Amino acid sequence: MSIAERIKSARISAGMSQQNLGEAIGVSKMAISKYEQGKTIPNSGMLIQIADALDVGVDYFFRTPAVTLSEPQYRCRKKMSKRDENAIHGKISDWLERYMEVEIITGVETPLSLPDKEKCKATSPEDVEIVAQMIRDEWALGTDPIENVMDVLEQHGIRVGIVDAPDTFDALTFTYDGKIPVIAVNKNTNGDRQRFNLAHELGHLILQVDENLDEEKAANRFAGAFLVPRDMAINELGERRNRLFLRELYVLKHKYGLSMKAWIHRAHDLGIISKNQETGLYIELNTHTKNKKEPGKQIRPQLPTHMHQLIFRALGDGKITQSRARELFGGTIPVVPSTED
């Protein structure tokens, strides 16, 4: 990717027009257009001003390698504007380039470990349950709740990132270089929603859904089964219940990182409660839900750790400087959190 292309990409990611960028650095819209077309090359001083205005490091304009991304599959609460999509796509591209760069520097690249597609065919909801359990078995996850879904995905070769995005955006999935799967989720969501989105996207990556089965519903079923397998759900709730209580669902939410709403849906999927009971619980839960937040303490969002650990390793081994580490982190080196965090 040329400097001209990177200037344009960074501008779009920042959600700025050529006019906006020109005004920010004191040049005309035409000058920005010439930079982006490669007709004029900005000098070092101007490139620093552009980087500051677009909130990227100067190294961004010279970075290699550039990534080739497939068409992303967005998971959104409602349709996003093209401007928001472009901004999210640009942020993800920037993050992934930094990720690839630190892998090259450290010589560490986690191999992809996904099951054969033939083993992941699903023609019914029961098949989805079976595939979800197979993944847990193959990944040796046991029967305990998954502590960090991001870490589990990264340990098996899926690149996971977070992006600052509007609340309408949940997640997106794509591949780079035609082979490596990437999942990016909104950093501004509660932990339970974030975990479910990750498991949902994993379902899309793995499941080979029959044309007679709704793909979104199958991915949702997979997410619930991956986070709380059938045996674990029955062990917690019993095979059949006349009534469930919000308080017990709240406790289970914080034990498994699955929202109360998703627990209600899971209980109905497994035949633990009836459709009428499910509807009644949704109504009861909604009376306690404010600003889309379920009652009680919220689950904190998770952070991917693999890339950060690689950067710290490279810094500790003297392969990069403090300044380079800051660039790879995206601007700031994380510090030890306080006792309040």
pLDDT digits (tens, 9 = 90+) for 284-295: 999 999 888 999
Domain interval for residue 292:
231-299
The Cα–Cα gap between 11 and 35 comes to 12
Does 79 lie in the same domain as 200? yes
In a domain, 338, yes or no: no
Q: Say yes or no to pLDDT of 139 above 70.
A: yes
In a domain, 336, yes or no: no
pLDDT of residue 198: 96
Confidence class for position 213, pLDDT limits 50, 70, 90: very high
Does 216 lie in the same domain as 162? yes
Total domains present in the chain: 3
Does 221 lie in the same domain as 311? yes
- What are 179-204's pLDDT values in tens digits? 889 999 999 899 999 999 999 999 99
CATH code of residue 53: 1.10.260.40
pTM assigned to the model: 0.82
In a domain, 339, yes or no: no
Span 230-238, average pLDDT: 97
pLDDT of residue 157: 94
Q: Quick one: which of 42, 34, 76 has its CA closest to 58?
A: 42
Does 275 lie in the same domain as 242? yes
Percent of the chain exceeding pLDDT 70 equals: 93
Supply φ then ψ for residue 122, to 5 degrees: -135, 120
Q: Say yes or no to pLDDT of 298 above 60.
A: yes
pLDDT of residue 193: 94
The Cα–Cα gap between 226 and 136 comes to 7
Minimum mean pLDDT range among 37-46, 202-211, 213-222, 330-339: 330-339
In a domain, 187, yes or no: yes
Q: Quick one: which of 14, 35, 104 has its CA closest to 64?
A: 104
Does 308 lie in the same domain as 293? no
Confidence class for position 3, pLDDT limits 50, 70, 90: confident
Helix (H, G, I), strand (E, B) or coil at 241: coil
The Cα–Cα gap between 112 and 306 comes to 14
